[in-house]
Amino acid sequence: MADQQVPSSIKDQGLVEKRRNQMIKGAVSLFIEKGFHKTTTREIAKASGFSIGTLYEYIRTKEDVLFLVCDSIYERVKDRMEQVIDTEKKTIDSLIHAVTSYFQLMDDMQDEVVVMYQEVKSLSRDAQEYVLQKEKDMLEMLTQVIRNSISTPMAEQDISLIANNIFIQGQMWGFRRWMLQKEFTLESYTKRQVHFLLEGLNVNSIQNQQTS
Amino acid sequence: MADQQVPSSIKDQGLVEKRRNQMIKGAVSLFIEKGFHKTTTREIAKASGFSIGTLYEYIRTKEDVLFLVCDSIYERVKDRMEQVIDTEKKTIDSLIHAVTSYFQLMDDMQDEVVVMYQEVKSLSRDAQEYVLQKEKDMLEMLTQVIRNSISTPMAEQDISLIANNIFIQGQMWGFRRWMLQKEFTLESYTKRQVHFLLEGLNVNSIQNQQTS
Amino acid sequence: MADQQVPSSIKDQGLVEKRRNQMIKGAVSLFIEKGFHKTTTREIAKASGFSIGTLYEYIRTKEDVLFLVCDSIYERVKDRMEQVIDTEKKTIDSLIHAVTSYFQLMDDMQDEVVVMYQEVKSLSRDAQEYVLQKEKDMLEMLTQVIRNSISTPMAEQDISLIANNIFIQGQMWGFRRWMLQKEFTLESYTKRQVHFLLEGLNVNSIQNQQTS
Amino acid sequence: MADQQVPSSIKDQGLVEKRRNQMIKGAVSLFIEKGFHKTTTREIAKASGFSIGTLYEYIRTKEDVLFLVCDSIYERVKDRMEQVIDTEKKTIDSLIHAVTSYFQLMDDMQDEVVVMYQEVKSLSRDAQEYVLQKEKDMLEMLTQVIRNSISTPMAEQDISLIANNIFIQGQMWGFRRWMLQKEFTLESYTKRQVHFLLEGLNVNSIQNQQTS
DNA sequence: CATGAATGAGATTTCATTCAT
DNA sequence: AATGAATGAAATCTCATTCAT
């Protein structure tokens, strides 16, 4: 767990976890509203339901809050993807299901994802790398699903590229909502992206025809 | 011009433009290095080659600098795309050329683009919309090129989606360089993205075969 | 005892004394290392081997710790001087012995003495006076020894002045160690100071000649 | 000058000096009253006659104020000693004059000297050494005067020891005023200390008899 | 008796902005 | 037009002390 990365002066580990969850919850909504830099530690404390002194019993610096927030978002995304993605099943359907689920997830967590992409650069080099690892893990999951679901072999590079494309198309749904969510519903967006994805994979199966 | 959006107490318009260009140049490199919030107005003044007092003769607030910077980046990107893209020619080649040029541009301006994506949310609502309009213009250009280059008609929604995909794939090249630029050169990245693009458009032309 | 000056909520007097000794021991080394003001109560508690809550069962304020520490140092110095000084014997030798012992003591307790001189001004007026009384007692002991050891009578003022001189020359050994301990060993320092002391007293005895 | 050790963001050197003098004057009286640690930077700013923001234009940290204060005290002491001490004249009178002047100086600057001795340990290692050098310079001056004024040669160590004794006897006058200034006036204190000093030097001259 | 989580006043420091020169 | 000294609101963080368990 990332919690181990941020020392606390509180000994009771259960309490640390509980308080940090309060903290993350409070901070996320503030960061969404006004960004990390324009949010004050006092506001974070208040939104978390405790005093400024208590806040600093659970973190060392304001940046720790950002780390906890980013890490928790990544963790939640990763968790849900692990639940939802079956890296074993070897059908094109499982790929479609994975992408659909991932897009759904990105829709659910739009704000959080936007925050993360905005603020992750404010983390220290180390923290950034720690958090980025989770992104690599997720990418690896997508890669695996793609690899499994295609019948004819494909260059690893191409698989990786497609995984990246899917990955950011998911994020783009939230990130560029001002543009996309005027023209598409989540369903239509998913349907068309999946369509082009399958075209790219040269899958002329029934599924493909269904989606076009 | 965006300059008109930001009032200055200096009368001489030529001077205003000159000073603001100094300012933008200085500020961009600072924003790239440490981000908007961690850059001070004093640093901007110094990097621009004049005093803090003078800085404030040409802007009202620190946010004005960010606006000027973002706007200038968008402007430069848009300019170069207009030079490079021929929205008249009706061949698949002109699409390939457009994408290639755009990716090249994104490669040249990696840092600037990253800065912009990081910091644009710190602008006021109005400034954001002003700047976003330029993005819409660029998207419209891509849309036009796509529309022209396909022989069989396509749903407007699909064209728009593909334009968006191209658009962010360009940005992704800079934004996710830690991942992509390990596996690809700009050329190979462009080649494979163009390949999948053409697959999606169902263009089984000579070019397509060449690129696969 | 000074302990009576600082109330505790604990009834068991034996325990109070035990805990306070732990406290003093822990605090002294911290004060030596970083000074009173830069030492936190948490650090004192930790160094004493108990919790911050427990610390406050045995004192009222942080200043109480300083008082206890200063008082304990004075007490120890005074104790050892009482053991070592014989205010009855009426020879010049007993003066030499007293000075030598006192200098030895100052050498043993260098750090403590430095701490005391640094921090005693942070005590409240009352506490300062309480602690200063012990200094007066020690001065009185020196005065007595001097008075006894001279054959021809001397002005009380002069005796007092010489006592003061001896007193601070002892402290100076620790206080100005960066200077003195480069040029002298404790022995040579003692020998020369004793020499000049006897010159001042106009004692042209055998001892005097021995030391010159 | 020590001013060079502490960077300022103000360019006008004359102004820097002026403001820092205001600062030192304000700070000294506060440090005398309540000590360095219990004095806030806001209080220093106010006592200096400018705002907290302005204060920080002339220093980097609170510790810089302490350094400036300590250094200025040392500098003033050293200056006045240089004016007053004639290291050329080779009579016992010039030694007596030097000691008398030095004691007078210590009387004038009692508070400042006490502050310095209390707080110098709060300086960084480097700053401490910088400041201590001035003390060594002064000691050297005393040494020189002693060496000149004695007719029969004396061990260098002894000269150094006597210089140290004089040095701290001067400080003791302020440092232990609660004790000494009850029994002595500055004149009587000086007279008797000079007396014992000359005894120690074995000078049985007319001056000596006058002082006894 | 002992513990340690909670508190919040208060300290230091920064920095966007103004304005007299 | 240009300068840069002055300002003070506001931000982060610390730490002595309390009190429920």
Q: What is the pLDDT of residues B124-149, one digit of tens each?
A: 999 999 999 999 999 999 999 999 99
Nearest nucleotide from residue C14 CA, by C1' atom? E1
Question: Is there a contact between D165 and C164 if contact means CB atoms under 8 Å apart?
Answer: no
Closest CA to A162 of A134, A130, A201, A202: A201
Residue C207 is predicted with a pLDDT of: 42
Distance of CA C141 to the CA centre of its chain: 13
Question: Is there a contact between A164 and B178 if contact means CB atoms under 8 Å apart?
Answer: no
Taking the stretch 1-60 of protein chain D, residues with Cβ within 7 Å of any atom in nucleic acid chain E are: 39-42, 52-53, 56-57, 60
**Measured between beta carbons, which residues in chain B are less than 8 angstroms from residue A106?**
none
Taking the stretch 112-151 of protein chain C, residues with Cβ within 7 Å of any atom in nucleic acid chain E are: none
> Rounded mean pLDDT of B169-176?
95
Asked if the Cβ of residue B167 lies within 7 A of any atom of strand E, the reply is: no
For A22-48, write each residue's pLDDT tens digit.
999 999 999 999 999 999 999 999 999
Smallest Cα distance from B64 to chain A, Å: 17
Ranges A155-169, A198-212, D77-91, D187-201: which has the least confidence: A198-212
Closest CA to A101 of A74, A83, A89: A83
Residue B207 is predicted with a pLDDT of: 43
Of all residues in chain A, the percent with pLDDT exceeding 70 is: 94
Smallest Cα distance from C82 to chain D, Å: 21
> Rounded mean pLDDT of B28-38?
95
Residue B2 is predicted with a pLDDT of: 64
| Å: D122 CA to F6 C1' | 30
Of all residues in chain A, the percent with pLDDT exceeding 90 is: 77
Smallest Cα distance from A200 to chain B, Å: 5
Residue C161 contacts by C-beta under 8 Å, 6 or more apart in sequence? Answer: D184, D189, D192, D193, D196
**Measured between beta carbons, which residues in chain D are less than 8 angstroms from residue C162?**
196
**Superfamily per CATH, domain D2-211:** Tetracycline Repressor, domain 2 (1.10.357.10)
Residue D203 is predicted with a pLDDT of: 63
Asked if the Cβ of residue D62 lies within 7 A of any atom of strand E, the reply is: yes
Asked if the Cβ of residue B41 lies within 7 A of any atom of strand E, the reply is: yes
Asked if the Cβ of residue C14 lies within 7 A of any atom of strand E, the reply is: no
Question: What size, in residues, is chain A?
Answer: 212
pLDDT above 70 for B185: yes
Smallest Cα distance from A14 to chain B, Å: 35
Taking the stretch 60-99 of protein chain B, residues with Cβ within 7 Å of any atom in nucleic acid chain E are: 60-63
Question: What size, in residues, is chain C?
Answer: 212
- Tokens 């001489």 appear where? B12
Nearest nucleotide from residue B51 CA, by C1' atom? F3
Question: Is there a contact between B200 and A200 if contact means CB atoms under 8 Å apart?
Answer: yes
**Measured between beta carbons, which residues in chain B are less than 8 angstroms from residue A136?**
179
> Rounded mean pLDDT of C172-191?
95
Residue C203 is predicted with a pLDDT of: 63
Question: Which two three-digit tokens encode residue B151?
Answer: 């022989």
> Rounded mean pLDDT of D74-102?
88
Question: Which two three-digit tokens encode residue D179?
Answer: 């004790």
Asked if the Cβ of residue C168 lies within 7 A of any atom of strand E, the reply is: no
Chain F bases under 7 Å from protein CB? 1-20
| Å: C188 CA to F17 C1' | 50
Higher pLDDT, D2 or A11: A11
| Å: A62 CA to F17 C1' | 25
Chain E bases under 7 Å from protein CB? 1-20
> Residue D209: which pLDDT band, with cuts at 50, 70 and 90?
very low
> Rounded mean pLDDT of C67-86?
89
Q: A62-84 and A110-119 are packed helices; what angle lies between their axes, rounded to 10 degrees?
A: 130
Choose from B106, B140, B199 for mutation: most chain A CBs within 10 A.
Answer: B199
Of all residues in chain C, the percent with pLDDT exceeding 90 is: 73
pLDDT above 50 for B209: no
Asked if the Cβ of residue C172 lies within 7 A of any atom of strand E, the reply is: no
Q: Are C121 and C37 in contact (CB under 8 A)?
A: no
- Chain C: partners with 3+ C-beta pairs within 8 Å: D
pLDDT above 80 for D208: no
pLDDT above 90 for C21: yes
Nearest nucleotide from residue D63 CA, by C1' atom? E12
Residue D83 is predicted with a pLDDT of: 87
For A116, nearest residue in chain B (alpha carbons): B118
Q: Which residue is nearest to nucleotide E7 (CA to C1')?
A: A53
pLDDT above 60 for D205: no
Smallest Cα distance from B176 to chain A, Å: 9
End-to-end CA distance of chain D: 43
Alpha-carbon torsion C127, C133, C134, C139, what sign? positive
Q: Distance between CA atoms of B63 and B128, rounded to whole angstroms?
A: 11
Q: Which residue is nearest to nucleotide E4 (CA to C1')?
A: C53
Mean pLDDT over the full length of chain A = 91
For D172, nearest residue in chain C (alpha carbons): C168
The burial of D186, by beta-carbon neighbours within 10 Å (0-12 exposed, 13-18 middle, 19 or more buried), is given as middle
CA dihedral D78, D81, D87, D91 (to 10 degrees): -150
pLDDT above 90 for B117: no
Domain boundaries, chain A: 2-211
> Residue D84: which pLDDT band, with cuts at 50, 70 and 90?
confident
Choose from A192, A197, A211 for mutation: most chain B CBs within 10 A.
Answer: A192
Question: Is there a contact between A183 and B202 if contact means CB atoms under 8 Å apart?
Answer: no
Q: Are B157 and A183 in contact (CB under 8 A)?
A: yes
Nearest nucleotide from residue B38 CA, by C1' atom? E15
| Å: A18 CA to E1 C1' | 29
Smallest Cα distance from A51 to chain B, Å: 26
Question: Which two three-digit tokens encode residue C164?
Answer: 């003061």
For D30-68, write each residue's pLDDT tens digit.
999 999 999 999 999 999 999 999 999 999 999 999 999
Choose from B179, B186, B190, B212 for mutation: most chain A CBs within 10 A.
Answer: B179
For D119-129, write each residue's pLDDT tens digit.
999 999 999 99
**Measured between beta carbons, which residues in chain C are less than 8 angstroms from residue D179?**
136, 139, 164
Q: A156-175 and A92-108 are packed helices; what angle lies between their axes, rounded to 10 degrees?
A: 30
Q: Distance between CA atoms of B159 and D101, rounded to whole angstroms?
A: 95
Mean pLDDT over the full length of chain C = 90
Q: Do chains C and B touch (3 or more CB pairs under 8 A)?
A: no
Q: Distance between CA atoms of C182 and C93, rounded to whole angstroms?
A: 28
Q: Distance between CA atoms of A102 and A80, rounded to whole angstroms?
A: 9
Q: Which residue is nearest to nucleotide E9 (CA to C1')?
A: A53
> Rounded mean pLDDT of D98-108?
95
Smallest Cα distance from B196 to chain A, Å: 5
* Residue A166 identity (one-letter amino acid): I
pLDDT above 90 for C118: no
pLDDT above 70 for B9: yes
Q: Three-state SS string across A17-36, please?
A: HHHHHHHHHHHHHHHHHHCC
Residue C211 is predicted with a pLDDT of: 43
